[in-house]
Amino acid sequence: MKTLLLSLALFSVMVTATNSYAQDESDSTILNQVTLQLKAEQWLVTKTAQVTVAVDAALSDQGIEKIQNDVMQKLSQIAKSDWHIVSYNRQQDKSGLESVTIRAQARVAQSDLSGIRGNAKTISKAGETFTIDNVEFTPTEDETRTANAALRNDIYQQAKREMDVLNTIYPLQKYYLHQINFLQAPIVMPMAANISMVRGGAAPLSVGNKAELQATVILASTPDMPSNLPRTH
C-alpha cells in the first residue's frame, strides 16, 4: 500500500512539473522580440571655459591665512568669477625658506578670456607669481545634463518610430517597448582650441563638444491567442 501511494505521489509531481514546463514553453513561444542598436548625437556649445591658475608664493613672515586671502582677492582681478582653491602644497628649500604652490579654478566667460594672461602678469610680484596653468573648454554639469536629457529623448523617439512601423506592418503582434539599455559615450573635447587660447591669448569663438548616446532597445510582442487554442493550466 505504501509503495502504491509513493508511486502515485511521484506521478503527481511529474505531471505538475510537465504542465509547468509546457506553460513556460508556451509563454516563451508567443513573445516575439526585435533588438535595435540606436544612436543619438548632439553638439554641446559652451561659452565658458574652466581656467586653472597656479600661484607660487614665498611665506617669509606672512601667515598662511594672509597669503590665502591675498590670493583669493587677486584672482578676481584676473577674471570676475567664483574662484575655488583646488590644491595647496607647502614646501621648504635647503636654506630653510618656505613657499607654497596654490592652484585655483573657475568658470570664466568667453568675453573675459582675452586678457587673463596679461592680468596674471600684472598682479604678479616678487615672491608671488600668478600663471595661467590651463584653459579647458568643457561643458558645465548643467549643460551636460541638458544635453543628456535631449539625447535620451531622441532615443525614445527613434524607438517609438520603430515600434509604430512594426505595429503598422504586423498589427496583430502588438509590439511594445520591452527593454532599453543606455551606453554613454565620452564627450569629445576640442583640444586644439585650448592650445590656441594659451599660446595666442586671444578669445576663441564658442567651442562645441560632441556628445553621443547609444542604446540597445528590445521591442517585444504578445499577440492575442486564438480562442480555440488550448491553454495548459
pLDDT digits (tens, 9 = 90+) for 130-177: 999 999 888 888 888 888 999 999 999 999 999 999 999 999 999 999
227 within some domain: no
Residue 73: which CATH number? 3.30.70
Domain of 115 in residue numbering reads as: 48-136
Q: How many domains does the chain have?
A: 1
188 within some domain: no
| pLDDT at residue 64 is higher than 60 | yes
196 within some domain: no
**Whole-angstrom distance, CA of residue 222 vs CA of residue 233:** 19
17 within some domain: no
156 within some domain: no
What's the pTM value of the predicted model, to 2 decimals?
Answer: 0.63
| Number of helical H runs and strand E runs in the chain | 5, 7
153 within some domain: no
| pLDDT at residue 189 is higher than 60 | no
Q: What angle do CA 112, 99, 61 make, to 5 degrees?
A: 105
* 39-48, 55-64, 72-81 — most confident range: 72-81
108 within some domain: yes
14 within some domain: no
